[in-house]
Amino acid sequence: MATYRDALELVIRREFGVYGAEKIIDFAAKLGITVGRNGNIISTPPGKSDRELLVEFMNRLREEFGEVSVISCRVALNSFFMKNNLENPL
Amino acid sequence: MGEELDYSRAIEIHDGIYWLGWTEENSAFRSNPYLIDDGEDVILIEPGSVPHFNTFYSKLESVVEPERVNYIFVSHQDPDLCTGIPLLEERLGKTFTILTHTRTTFLLPFYGIKSGYYAVDMHGWKLKLKSGRELKFIFMPYCHFPGMTVMYDEKSKILFSGDLFGGLSYDWSLYAGEWYIEAMKAFHEHYMPSKEILRHNVSKLEKLDIAMIAPQHGSIIREDVQRYIEALKNLECGEYMLLGEE
């Protein structure tokens, strides 16, 4: 079953393509998320759900990289939520 | 991968075929003009826009005498790929034959273009050059313009794909890298109208023997071409996907 962690990995891989893996790995680390070279999440900070992390990730992404970062994955995320019957928290 | 390329110069991507584009540090949306030098015929492919004209022109004259250009191919009429044409006409004091779809010929004159047209849909979707080399044109309606047409060079097996296979990326390189497929999806999800339309059109490419895909935006695909075709065939796309979000 698909989860919000899968959605977060979808965003991370998409931003690898738009900004480069190095920048996104460094950005995720600032949020306490450890990301591997293939875009997988290795660890997350304690006390936060994957859903909360996804929302925080998207908000901080917009602040740090601008609107293009959000636009570049909006359709993919929307499609993912619809296909997996997950509520869109964004 | 990993090769050092000097983007300040024209780059030969195949025998007699050159990339004449430019790089911009803070742009996710670069343009890629190309040129085919076939001896008696010289074809410019989507020569670009007004702000980049001088950069483009200096690269053009570094590889051919610009006066030798006789054809220009444009896949559709977006300003980023063809508003430089009137400047080229003015600089050289000549006109060209523009290879494009009839629908595009209705709109290009609004940029002040004086050149004539070879409407590919009225000529069997092909053009035979003086050398015998054949250029094929493949209709890709609604991807993203109703008259969208891409060009396939039979000799080099390069597909000049216009906006199709283009990418949105700040992490640009001339040749597609490990994560280009994501940059490509980021662009297509918004620009292409629907999965059904994109899939229908991209499936037409499976009949071609494609060695390289040279899009108008983003990076050139020269490895695993079929993987990128499959990715577009299966992409959920279209702004309508966002309906209800507002």
Would you write out chain B's pLDDT as a tens digit for each of its 246 residues?
457 899 999 999 999 999 999 888 788 888 999 999 999 999 999 999 999 999 999 999 999 999 999 999 999 999 999 999 999 999 999 999 999 999 999 999 999 999 999 999 999 999 999 999 999 999 999 999 999 999 999 999 999 999 999 999 999 999 999 999 999 999 999 999 999 999 999 999 999 999 999 999 999 999 999 999 999 999 999 877 776 565
Q: What pLDDT score does B169 carry?
A: 93
CB-based contact (8 Å) between B218 and chain A?
no
Q: How far apart are CA B115 and CA B100, in angstroms?
A: 12
Q: How far apart are CA B142 and CA B13, in angstroms?
A: 29
Write out the H or E segment, with its range, that includes residue B82: helix B79-82
Q: What pLDDT score does B246 carry?
A: 56
Q: How many CA atoms lie within 13 A of B201 on its CB side?
A: 26
Q: What pLDDT score does A69 carry?
A: 93
Q: What pLDDT score does B115 carry?
A: 98
Q: What pLDDT score does B238 carry?
A: 86
Q: How far apart are CA A47 and CA A66, in angstroms?
A: 27
CB-based contact (8 Å) between A72 and chain B?
yes
Report the gap between the CA of B132 and the closest CA in chain A (Å): 40
Report the gap between the CA of A43 and the closest CA in chain B (Å): 22
Q: What pLDDT score does B244 carry?
A: 59
Interface predicted TM-score (ipTM) over 0.90:
yes
Residues of chain A predicted below pLDDT 70: none
Contact A18 B170 (CB under 8 A): yes
Closest-CA residue of A relative to B179 is A17
* Residue boundaries of the structural domains of chain B: 11-237
CB-based contact (8 Å) between B28 and chain A?
yes
Nearest-5° Cα angle at A82, A41 to A61? 45
Preferred mutation among B171, B190, B232 to probe A, highest tally of A CBs within 10 A: B171
Name the CATH topology of B11-237.
Metallo-beta-lactamase; Chain A (3.60.15)
Q: What pLDDT score does B138 carry?
A: 98
Residues within 8 A of B (CB atoms), A 28-67 only = none
Contact B167 A73 (CB under 8 A): no
**What is the number of CB-based contacts under 8 A between chain A and chain B?**
65
Is the overall model pTM greater than 0.90, yes or no? yes
Residue in B167, B180, B241 closest to A75 by CB: B241
